[in-house]
Chains A and B, each alone.
Chain A
Amino acid sequence: MSEADTLADAGKWRVRDWRRLGVRGAELIPQTRMSGPMPWVIAIMVAMTAIALAAGLALGNAISLARAEIEGGVTIQVIEPRDEIREREAAAAVDAIKRLPHVAGLRRVPQAELDGLIEPWLGTGIAAATGAAIPVPSLIDVRLKGPATPPQLAAIEKAIAKVAPSAKVDAQSSWLRPVFDAMVSLQVLSISLVLLLAGALAAAVLLAARSALGANRDIIEIVHLLGGTDTQVARVFQRSIGFDAAGGGTVGLALAMVVILSLGRRFASLGAGLVDSGALVWTDWLLLALVPLLSTLLAMLTARLTVLHALRKML
């Protein structure tokens, strides 16, 4: 459909609202809603906004969970091939770190778990087959009270340097950082999309309101001459777009829900930790439900301001 057609349609679709000029709003009985293009434009906008918002919220949840996980996490590897020395250094390191004030807790990763980690590459029963165990580093998971800062890492390194010279200290955030940054960029992107879509919605309403004004110019002039105020005229358009936006918004939200729920199920079946942690909580669903409501308000406000602005040029 050409732009001209769309505008002409928008004009026609408004005309019905004059059927009962709602100076008193209750008089305005809109007929055959969902006929013009506007409700569908709004439905698409609302669907896209809700999907973008859902993505943003899910990413936000994943980010905040991941942040709590990794920010205070420090991994200590004792890399020493000789079993007894490695064992001694690891035990000494655990003792030394325990006494540090900013350490919330720590855990020695048990040998069975380490074996489990390398099993996919080397299989089971290595010791039995080769007569010697593969020297796997000892791992200590340290959880700090706050985020791991360079001075704190330095303090840990200093505390274990003497008792466990072969230990290596790593903040977990350092290697997760790129993933983390990518998630934040995606979140920024989805929030920008929400804002852009709101702008596009306002622009579409502005165009529709302008063409409706043009199409109903004569009627507006009569209403003016009978003593009607700009506000009364604006209210007619505002109500009309309000109905369309509410209808379109509901359809759009339903559409978005289908998409979000089916995508959610797909991600959940991946079973990947990060994605799992991005599940939406009830406040997120509430925000999504607000999308059609806020879109309706935005559309009505835009229509009102457009109409009032245009009428100021009439006598």
Chain B
Amino acid sequence: MLAIAAPVARSDQTQHRYTSMTADGEIVHFDNVGLRYGTEREVLSDLTFTLFAGRFYFLTGASGAGKTSLLRLLYLAQRPSRGAIRMFGTDLITLPRSRLPGLRRRTGVVFQDFRLIPHLSAFDNVALPLRVAGHQERDIGGPVRDILEWVGLSDKLDAGPATLSGGEQQRVAIARAVIARPAMLVADEPTGNVDSEMALKLLRLFEMLNRQGTTVVVATHDLDLLRKVPDSLIMRLDRGRLADPTGALRYPPRRLT
């Protein structure tokens, strides 16, 4: 079903357009970041790390460790309570609100609960990032159909989210996350609702996007998954603090190409 000859691979000319990463390949940098909701204690503390462009990251940790919270910072759903974040070479602390949409369009997100828009068909949900980015309607239909076919949903174009199974909704969510060819893909427990066969297929999809240059960050508590992507780097959250036992986050091993 998930053929490797994927439509994402078709337009090769768009692959290397991530100009805003810095010379050393940094795509995201957290400096002593902390996050608290309201007046509660911090759910994330003292996070200092760098994500490098083109790498594959797993974010692990027990339930409640703060994985979703960290991803929310990454996809700009949340501003940190303290510390500094730099993304695509842009300092988020001083960034005016009006520039957030431009930055958000460069990150594809698979939400833990999918967050499909209930009144839109699968087609329109997937088309949304392209429409939001101002693409012409005639340029939208083809890619959207292709990517839905690619995730095995070509017979569900007009189906509303409510009529789709959990796994189908998840695939729509993934299609929506990657349709606009983001520089970074952030996925929150993307294999949580699918059987192990589908989980593996999704992982292969992420890997393929990664090979094309997309930086991938996948939050999961499924430790089996980690072993299936040999080149991946692992960030482990423990009660809101980042463990980097191997130093791989600060000094990632050179990639074998």
By a beta-carbon cutoff of 8 Å, the part of chain A in contact with chain B is: 15-16, 18-21, 23-24, 26-27, 218-219, 221-229, 232, 312, 315
Contact = CB atoms under 8 A, between A and B. Distances in A.
Contacts of B118: 219
From B129, B132, B137, B180, name the one whose CB has the most chain A CB atoms within 10 angstroms.
B132
B129 to A, nearest CB: 5
B200 interface: no
Would you call the interface of chain A mostly helix, strand, loop, or mixed? helix
A195 to B, nearest CB: 34
Contacts, number: 71
From A218, A222, A226, name the one whose CB has the most chain B CB atoms within 10 angstroms.
A226
Contacts of B86: none
A15 B98 CA distance: 25
B41 interface: no
A224 B101 contact: yes
A16 B160 CA distance: 13
Given A23-B134, A27-B131, A219-B117, A225 B104 contact: yes
A20 B101 contact: no
Contact of B104 (A16, A19, A226): A226
A281 B119 CA distance: 49
Contacts of B132: 23, 223, 226-229, 232
B124 A20 contact: yes
B102 interface: yes
B134 to A, nearest CB: 7
B131 A21 contact: yes
Contact of B97 (A225, A228, A312): A312
Interface in B101-151: 101-102, 104-105, 109, 115, 117-120, 124, 128-129, 131-134, 137
Given A226-B128, A315-B78, A18 B120 contact: yes
B208 interface: no
A19 B109 CA distance: 21
Contact of B100 (A24, A26, A315): A315
B134 A315 contact: no
3 shortest A-B CB distances, which residue pairs? Answer: A227-B105, A23-B131, A227-B104
A35 to B, nearest CB: 15
Interface string B45-83: 000000000000000000000000000000111110000
A169 B76 CA distance: 85
Given A227-B105, A227-B132, 5 more contacts: A21-B131, A23-B131, A222-B115, A228-B132, A315-B79
A24 B127 CA distance: 12
Contacts of A222: 115, 117
Nearest to B104: A227
A24 B133 CA distance: 10
Contacts of A26: 137
Given A227-B129, A227-B133, A19 B119 contact: yes
A227 B120 contact: no
A82 to B, nearest CB: 92
A151 B76 CA distance: 79
A2 to B, nearest CB: 26
A136 B210 CA distance: 110
6 contacts: A20-B124, A21-B124, A225-B104, A232-B132, A315-B77, A315-B78
A207 B243 CA distance: 49
A223 B109 CA distance: 12
Contacts of B128: 21, 23, 223, 226
Contacts of B180: 227
B118 to A, nearest CB: 8
A18 B131 CA distance: 13
B21 to A, nearest CB: 19
Contact of B119 (A18, A228, A229): A18
Contacts of B78: 315
Contacts of A24: 131, 137
Contacts of A16: 119
Contacts of A232: 132
Contact of B129 (A219, A226, A229): A226
A225 B77 contact: yes
A15 B77 contact: no
A225 B74 CA distance: 11
Contacts of A221: 77
Contacts of B119: 15-16, 18-19, 219
Nearest to A19: B119
